Chain A
């Protein structure tokens, strides 16, 4: 009994091998007829067949593993042609049987095979500019205007200078806390450049560049850091927790990844009102472990909400390296699990990020679908001013990423090669920003803090009686004991 079963399964295996070779061959033929140049390039470099495209040209990610073919579902052309091939092969018993389970048709297989936890080859990373700032693709296939490129670069430099100076200010004790974006300037600026101001941004905390791009001034940044009375947030949040209703940038909240489902909600509201805009939310590799990430992605997929999930995979969650954060091929593969189109992008390549976000936005709005973008990069600075990362990672590793892989340097090389930039202009820009920043800091430092009276506003739309009472008590107390309290804070 067992023997005959084995021989039967052997036959099936052999048939499958025949099939698979046939399939491989067939799919190669099929795909070679596709004239997408990027696609054919990938064919040359890989031994396994490339992922299948659906009619829209979006990779469905139907991988071919061994003898098993995990059908991509209704969208995959080749899958149906596959089954046609099967019918023509001589077999003893019908190989293909399928059943319409809740959730869709599934084909059965007598081959017991576990899909491995990860492929030998990881998902490829989309890159357009190499380390020397040279375009990998044809110059023609990637066009960016001089204005846009120069504007992006200047903002990246501004962000870099801003980070350095504000970090120093914290070290000097002038502000209480700061957190830098060193190494992620391209992510910040390029993604912002690819969006429109009407797109709602739900940041984690390492995305001030998006605000910068949209027009937040250096003075406004300084005001928030000092928590003075001109701060948009009225001095209620700690430094770097910026927010601006005017620029559609939701106030940063310290809780990790809570912004992810909120972004889905915003996208849902845009969908309901049929707006021509999308929502975007940023989070790190650490944030991708939270419950909110998983449920947020799932919701967005089910609701077909126009939201871009941008994961800044910078390799570190404070001191937790990526290998302790997750297993599996990073964050990009999770998109498929939820039915979300995803892409992995070189996070230090401003052009690649721009291109990916631009296209993602188009997809999100036109097709009303969420999109997951994983940008691989490195957190070249410390987690924040409360952290010294040399305690848990080698200093030379930090240096290599910060200097050799700097997204700012790389982009600079590209714009210089186009004759759009020069060292002279760079020097001028940097010193101008430095001057503006030190003026902004001095000005912000001098401004009064918000009055105590403001402490009780905005808890509700109109202060209720109990808060008015509490405010009364506090004001009376401060007036009575004025000598115990700072004189430069208005009551």
Chain B
């Protein structure tokens, strides 16, 4: 299974120069806060180090990145796993850790979904929680997505903080009525009287030959719904942080996980941390071109980045993480620096996240662009079952390399 060793986060990189570590943890830059929200907890900024100072730590960190496109065996960097602080775990375990910490912290947090209880969830994100917290707090539901999402909304309006798990994001299409007409709306239409602090999460995206119905990219369908927030996690570090942030948020949040990323391994800090829901993550700073991506495509991009670096290009890779609203601050700063944008996404060409992002960038940063925005997305076809065909529906690293070469001509 894919493993990734990523020296991400202030923890690992600045620990090697431990002096400033303490200050880094306590620092949360409210300038960066997109919504003016005051965060009480420790907020680890994406990428850890202070962006504004453009410290050379970031450059150093990039060398440690060994990325892997997809679920294939890869060479792991054997370096210093033993002596580093923090603990190593897989992405689904990171999600579970975040979930467990929040359930421990607040008795109102509960989980609902199919097979989440004693079975532990079909991707084992809720494994062990039913034994620990009782059947009532980790609830197995019958098969009716619209209804258990409705249940979650009702429970949220009357005081609980439920997390709804869709066994596969595609099944949440059945819950669209509740999500769009009630979840996103009731806080508004009730005049602010009833809040819905619900988290809806589940795996989506194109997997390994799961068939068209189980390879849906729901972020394109949901992005229009007013009142909800959408985030997509891609590493164990941000998975845990986003899970915790989503649970603590009073807004309905949809957390998109990816079927193929559950077994990614990473070393994450032991200390508690919560990430900002509206922030993008700087994966690899660069000068020549801004590549915007999220979820699994991040790994395809990083693999392409290796090739590009060998060819002499210096791409800046940003994992946008927040799909609604977009972190136009980070994205804007990057575009102002590089003047070229490539969006790499897994959504369909029509009406996907890339389409919206293209529009948003054109509207806001048109003057800074030296080349038209290019968006690489999946074709407008249902995902075929045959492995080779399936590969071709998803953007591949060579396509990314070719696109960059074309844009940077």
Q: Which residues of A contact B (CB under 8 A)?
A: 200, 202, 231-234, 236-237, 241, 243-245, 250-251, 253-255, 258-266, 268-273, 279, 291-292, 294-296, 298-299, 302-303, 457-466
Contacts and interface: CB of A to CB of B under 8 A. Distances in A.
Nearest to A254: B181
B222 to A, nearest CB: 15
14 contacts: A232-B193, A251-B194, A255-B181, A261-B150, A269-B160, A270-B158, A279-B154, A291-B147, A299-B141, A299-B142, A460-B35, A461-B251, A464-B34, A464-B325
Contact of B136 (A245, A272, A295): A272
B4 to A, nearest CB: 31
B251 A460 contact: yes
Contact of A245 (B34, B142, B160, B194): B194
Contacts of A294: 144
Interface stretch (B23-31, B184-192, B343-351): B184-192
Contacts of A243: 189-191, 193-194
Contacts of B159: 269, 273
Nearest to A241: B189
Contact of A253 (B141, B158, B181): B181
Nearest to A237: B189
Nearest to B228: A460
A262 B187 contact: no
B251 A236 contact: no
B166 interface: no
Given A262-B153, A272-B160, 5 more contacts: A234-B191, A251-B189, A258-B177, A265-B162, A296-B151
B160 A295 contact: no
A265 B36 contact: no
Contacts of A236: 188-189, 191
Given A266-B155, A266-B158, A296 B150 contact: yes
Given A250-B157, A261-B154, A262-B153, A233 B191 contact: yes
Contacts of B136: 268, 271-272
Interface string B311-340: 000000000000001101100000000000
Interface of B: 34-37, 110, 136-137, 139, 141-142, 144, 146-160, 162, 177-178, 181-182, 185-195, 226-227, 229, 249-251, 278, 325-326, 328-329
A291 B188 contact: no
A258 B150 contact: yes
Contacts of B34: 464-465
Contacts of B177: 255, 258
B52 to A, nearest CB: 18
B189 A265 contact: no
B312 to A, nearest CB: 36
Given A261-B154, A292-B150, A232 B142 contact: no
B150 A260 contact: yes
A459 B226 contact: yes
Given A258-B182, A262-B151, A303-B139, A458 B158 contact: no
Contacts of A465: 34-35, 325, 328-329
Given A265-B151, A464-B34, A458 B187 contact: yes
B273 to A, nearest CB: 21
A234 B147 contact: no
Chain B CB count within 10 A is highest, among A233, A259, A265, for: A265
B147 A462 contact: no
Contacts of A244: 193
A303 B135 CA distance: 10
B154 A263 contact: yes
B154 A266 contact: yes
A439 to B, nearest CB: 23
Contacts of B144: 261, 291, 294-295, 298-299
A268 B188 CA distance: 24
A463 to B, nearest CB: 7
Contacts of B185: 253
Contacts of A234: 191-192
Contacts of A266: 154-155, 157-158
A295 B147 contact: yes
B142 A258 contact: no
Contacts of A232: 190-191, 193
Contacts of A264: 147, 150-151, 154
A310 B195 CA distance: 25
A254 B181 CA distance: 9
Nearest to B145: A295
A196 to B, nearest CB: 15
